[in-house]
Structure 1
């Protein structure tokens, strides 16, 4: 059994950062355990290729949530990255930090050092923002952030004009002074290739002699001596292995796998563990609970003018787009499906934006079974405007269903479980139609395809978004941070309450969800968490 100073379980958005930061000085040895394989795959590196990874078991955990009454009984598909880079290797690449008020609320909940002003230096250090350096943006960091304002499809400009006609401001930078308004999304790409956490952080770290990365290595249990974590047991190529940590075990497996591994290791609700024959080393009922996620729905229209459907649907269009990408690393394949978007308040009663917009210059009303048809859109010209709730009050949980580590945990979302969540989504979908009625967009619309013009009453609109909503892939808070062990899993320094030598550094520690996409905040958590580890290591 080999011994390392630190064992990092998971090479995702946070784990890649932790491994790089802890190994940078050369003082410490770091072992990274990743359940998936290499990120050197064409459809991983090609930005729009993530449609091909949406169901691919080679790179994706392909979780299925429990049947959810809030989603009309549907079992939602939960893609999570099982690959170097984790979900940053298969996500939609939109770079949103979150509202400053989100992080100030974390701090005010008893987590010193987690306010926006505290975290801004980390956010800036991470970035190499093409838009340039400002008091709020950084350049020269490991993650290149592309400013797409000059590259978007012409219809995106119609969306921006319609948003302004509907009363929203034009926002040149959602990571600037304010999030509210409509604008073009910055994305994590560089030279037409995906800029994952693996590319920005882990790959450089892997060149160091003090870093070892084991792929296809499924962590099955954290090993303890008394109440101190001393190592990790893992399966690799059918064999059981163990590795010892001289200083700390750090769990960076994400909001699904981290609570699962804790529970498999005897850390969690004693009643749940006991039913599965697992002895509770540390009874904490909050492990796996407080699950928060953003729920989204798309409205789709048939257009009077060509959209990306006409380019990406036919074989010759695919060939042209492919040739442009291979030769120049430009064109639609070098971008995200969400070129434009924004943030708005579904009601004037909200002090801050509570809804996020996504504009897509193509449509996928006619999906193919087992595929997310981004590269095979509808045969007619179409486009979609989607939205997701930023601060839902519904809460779910993630609990193991078996003591066998290869069995997926039970994901109970409880979407739209509160009247407040239903009411704000109803207001929000009505705003989508208001947006589409603005002259800049209305003059190019032939028909509303989804949900269709017959869906008009409040009851029908609610029924529709329950049937068609789903995760926008931002699960957080299943090992939430807080000062009180009676209400949280980790303390403000990300140490697991009641145990030694064990931290959690990933999105599962978020006290509450943030306003927008979670990848940037997760990478920041990796940076901040590594700083805390290094401080405590002297």
Structure 2
């Protein structure tokens, strides 16, 4: 039953049905199907990942606007960003967004998880989640064994051939007082350095490639691609399966034990709402029959707001297309194939780190992603010529948005960015710090013209205006089905089961009560590990109790 789509018919039934083959869902598919006595169906709305653009690190830049491999969502007009609708891509292939992201391995700060625990999420403190991070990790860098795993499926390695300009950024950051950090997942979170990446043999290692592809031939694991889930099948507030469109036909897939939603912070609440599970008023306005009034579905949307400093340079040391760089561009495929070196190994955001602005004396409140190439000031995918850029994002945003369905059943995404002005103040200070790094004499050898924000933008008021004109999401949406113990919680922290519905769990970024400090792929893999353990522990306890009763 390991083929794509071949095993799906009108009577298909499995013990576990997992919706979404992304960062969390692939971990769940691996762990649950390790038991040969249960059957697992992993459903992905996108297609396969057998494409050089996905597998080659440098291909990531071509995926964000891909019509095939990306869900090209756009937000509702952001009232505090001059009414702009923000591009919000999500992965649409096996591996989900881990098949199109920048492959950066970041767990976040330990206090992020302790904050979850303090808010009532028992079992989600740093001491509780660390073993799950270590379980999935296969660290290739001989980093602290007390914090890193070496036997997991997810390879964590250094970039094969970082651009020398990326090291200039790290050196300049040191010179302005930000310490070098060689392991952002080690004892020290703050600092700048070259990011570790989820790659194996200089290729992207998505969650699918790490956790599912090696076990794809398990007889009890069925992977279905190009399969759009329409809704969860509910009977008397018990999840019985999912309604899908596959091969142009409407079908039902039955779950004998559980449906597990791992469709991400946008896809999972969308499915719940489409199934009639969510805020009563919002469902009625969308014309959806209310099956279960659950106020928190779609609420609590959080993301990292990002601002850009981009510089034009004449130096061919930076990534870019020019007559001077033509020889290296032409040689790139050969260098990659035969030496795993050169331009095609880049993930573009090779360097970066975490720093404190004057607004945060204790913990880093901004993150940098340095690009050793020119980021177009016009929003183009490619620009002729050279340069470099720094993305700066607000690590712990206070602005909260929401998702809902409109009358046509389409998803409406409102980040509500800058609804709390504190986020804008942090970003202003972060942009100042980014500029300070780029102004260091280390960059004199490749110095160029700042295109954005531009020389004329200097005062706080001008930077605020720039943010309203240009700031965007850095693609880390979370929180829309949050776990917790308050009235707006959607899932239980101890089980991840949807409140008031039997046989239905959520395991993905949507369960995060607050956004973690950094990139979200590694935490989503941890959530998949944690959810699998919850399910397996519960099943074993149930089986033992059943056997005892029979005996």
User: Aligned-pair distance for 1:449?
Assistant: 2.0
Gap change, CA 1:441 and 1:308, over 3 Å in 2:
closer
Structure 2 gaps, min length 5: 1-10, 541-551
Deviation string, structure 1 residues 374-417 (Cα, Å, up to 9, x no partner): xxx431x311111111101001111112464xx4x000111111
Partner in structure 1 of residue 331 of structure 2: 320
Partner in structure 2 of residue 358 of structure 1: 369
- Pair 1:280-2:301 in alignment: no
- Pair 1:2-2:28 in alignment: no
Partner in structure 2 of residue 217 of structure 1: 227
1:457 to 456, 459, 469: 459
Distance 1:304 1:242 in 2: 58
1:388 to 393, 401, 413: 393
Partner in structure 2 of residue 116 of structure 1: 126
User: Aligned-pair distance for 1:78?
Assistant: 0.7
Partner in structure 2 of residue 29 of structure 1: 39
- Pair 1:163-2:163 in alignment: no
Distance 1:384 1:440 in 2: 15
Distance 1:76 1:278 in 2: 27
Greater mean deviation of Cα atoms: 118-127 or 503-512: 118-127
1:231 to 241, 255, 266: 241
User: Aligned-pair distance for 1:368?
Assistant: 7.1
Secondary structure of 1:386's aligned partner:
strand
User: Aligned-pair distance for 1:95?
Assistant: 0.6
User: Aligned-pair distance for 1:349?
Assistant: 3.6
Greater mean deviation of Cα atoms: 55-64 or 432-441: 432-441
* 1:46-445 equivalences in 2 (<5 Å): 46-133=56-143, 134-148=145-159, 151-303=161-313, 305-310=315-320, 316-347=327-358, 349-365=360-376, 372-373=381-382, 377-379=383-385, 381-402=386-407, 404=409, 407=410, 409-442=411-444, 444-445=446-447
State the TM-score, normalizing by the size of structure 1: 0.95
- Pair 1:491-2:492 in alignment: yes
Asked if structure 2 preserves the Cα contact closer than 8 Å seen for 1:312 and 1:318, the reply is no
Partner in structure 1 of residue 526 of structure 2: 524
Distance 2:423 2:399 in 1: 7
Asked if structure 1 preserves the Cα contact closer than 8 Å seen for 2:387 and 2:448, the reply is no
Distance 1:350 1:80 in 2: 34
User: Aligned-pair distance for 1:208?
Assistant: 0.3
Greater mean deviation of Cα atoms: 64-73 or 520-529: 64-73
User: Aligned-pair distance for 1:469?
Assistant: 1.1
Structure 1 gaps, min length 5: none
Distance 2:163 2:321 in 1: 12
Asked if structure 1 preserves the Cα contact closer than 8 Å seen for 2:269 and 2:298, the reply is yes
Asked if structure 1 preserves the Cα contact closer than 8 Å seen for 2:310 and 2:387, the reply is yes
User: Aligned-pair distance for 1:442?
Assistant: 4.2
The RMSD of aligned alpha carbons is 1.6
Asked if structure 2 preserves the Cα contact closer than 8 Å seen for 1:310 and 1:317, the reply is no
Deviation string, structure 1 residues 458-493 (Cα, Å, up to 9, x no partner): 111111122111111100000000023x12100012
Asked if structure 1 preserves the Cα contact closer than 8 Å seen for 2:377 and 2:451, the reply is no
User: Aligned-pair distance for 1:175?
Assistant: 0.5
Distance 1:307 1:76 in 2: 32
Distance 1:158 1:214 in 2: 45
User: Aligned-pair distance for 1:315?
Assistant: 5.5
Gap change, CA 1:298 and 1:307, over 3 Å in 2:
farther
State the TM-score, normalizing by the size of structure 2: 0.93
Secondary structure of 1:123's aligned partner:
helix
Asked if structure 2 preserves the Cα contact closer than 8 Å seen for 1:129 and 1:147, the reply is no
User: Aligned-pair distance for 1:207?
Assistant: 1.3
Greater than 6 Å deviation, 4+ residue runs: none
Deviation string, structure 1 residues 347-369 (Cα, Å, up to 9, x no partner): 25442111001111100326575
Gap change, CA 1:290 and 1:166, over 3 Å in 2:
same
